[in-house]
Amino acid sequence: MSTDDENDRIFKALAASSRRAMLDVLKDRPQTTGDLCARFPALDRCTVMQHLKVLAAADLIIVKREGRERWNYLNPLPIKHIHDRWIGPYAAQAVNLISRLKDDLEG
């Protein structure tokens, strides 16, 4: 699978606010699917499972089974790769502009 396909899958997964909220919860610690269902009472279990399936397909979460429980872990690497490609270079340019502005104002 190409990098563009992987990025498309990640961006599509991040497009839904419910999935971003689930990632925010998983940022603090892994959660069972039951825990996530309890954290999002407006969503039924089937909907939570569908969102988790999309996140897993985008490699944004890692799912491990332990007995009857499904543990969901945040995988931050795909987000870091997007940051490195899209955000990092723009942030560096902004810092350079601010530095030049500071020098111009002080000079």
Query: Could you read off the pLDDT of 49-78 as tens digits, one per residue?
Result: 999 999 999 999 999 999 999 999 999 999
Residues 55 and 64: their CA atoms lie apart, in Å, by 14
* Best CA proximity match to 47, nearest among 16, 10, 78: 16
pLDDT, one tens digit per residue, over 7-65 is: 899 999 999 999 999 999 999 999 999 999 999 999 999 999 999 999 999 999 999 99
Dihedral sign of CA atoms 95, 101, 106, 107 in order:
positive
Of 3.30.1300.10, 3.30.1330.60, 1.10.10.10, 1.20.810.10, the CATH number of 1-75 is: 1.10.10.10
Instruction: Tell me the whole-structure pTM to 2 decimals.
Output: 0.81
Provide the residue ranges of all domains of the chain, joining segments of one domain with +: 1-75, 77-107
Q: Are 26 and 20 in contact (CB under 8 A)?
A: no
Quote the tokens at residue 8: 């498309």
